Amino acid sequence: MSVVAELSIQSKQFELGRVLELSEGMLLELDRVVPVGESTVPLVWVYASDTQGFEERVANHPSVRGFEALDRFSGRALYRLDWDTTGDHLFDAIHRERAHVLRATATPESWTFELRFPSHEALSGFQTHCENARIHFSVARIGRSNEPDDDPRYGLTESQYDALVLAVESGYYDIPRRRTTVELAEELGISDQAVTERLRRAIIALTENTLDGTGHTK
């Protein structure tokens, strides 16, 4: 039976975190990981008013083989990264235990991952690989992936859950609205564009983890 683990890790603990070095106030969210030949290429959203310095740092990193902006909008941009994973012991451990990255978000200080492992044994193997590589992380949640009701957050990350709860309780979804995205952003300490995107992903995750595809609850 597969298990889902949510963990937090300092950005400097693994290669991708060092490659995608964020400045103060920037946020990053993994959009997806695309298989390309024998490697994987992540697509990431970066939320910031100015990304020039970030782009220069990433493009000049010795592990990076290719880095390009696919889309640009006000306050955010979508990037495609091709990097040498040889020195990334975290992703090596993920690959060895056949785990899947369900979600990943990052601040300048740390990353939060939601990983699905094929079994508890695979999760234990992942922890052993990380210990051997001297990678330290904290686990926020471990649960069986086919029992969403056991998870009080229904598959949402902590940041998504907090944003959605704040939006509902403060009247963002009321008619007329009693709270704007700008006000939510100030309280959460992120941009209003990041708030909109976080709420969108929270609603998608909530729907996927509570409905069975026919409109009925799981």
Across 136-150, 158-172, 198-212, which has the greatest mean pLDDT?
158-172
Structure confidence at residue 129 (pLDDT): 93
- If pLDDT is split at 50, 70 and 90, which confidence band does 192 have? confident
Please tell me the distance from the alpha carbon of residue 176 to that of residue 156, in angstroms, as a whole number: 27
* C-alpha torsion 147→148→153→158, nearest 10: 80
Mean pLDDT along residues 99-126: 91
Mean pLDDT along residues 127-153: 76
Strand order in the sheet with 137-144: 64-73, 76-83, 39-47, 27-36, 100-106, 110-117, 3-10, 137-144
| pLDDT tens by residue, 35-54 | 444 456 788 999 998 899 99
Instruction: Tell whether pTM > 0.85.
Output: no
Mean pLDDT along residues 171-196: 86
Domain 150-210 has CATH 1.10.3470: no
Alpha helices in the chain (DSSP H): 15-19, 52-59, 89-96, 120-132, 158-169, 181-188, 192-210
Coil, strand, or helix at residue 164? helix
Please tell me the distance from the alpha carbon of residue 29 to that of residue 198, in angstroms, as a whole number: 9
| pLDDT tens by residue, 39-98 | 567 889 999 988 999 999 999 999 899 999 999 988 899 999 988 878 889 989 998 999
Coil, strand, or helix at residue 194? helix
> Any idea what DSSP says for residue 87?
G
| Domain ranges within the chain, ordered by starting residue | 3-146, 150-210
Q: Is the pLDDT of residue 153 over 70?
A: no
Cα 124 to chain centroid distance, Å, stands at 22
Q: Is the pLDDT of residue 215 over 50?
A: no
Q: Is the pLDDT of residue 110 over 90?
A: yes
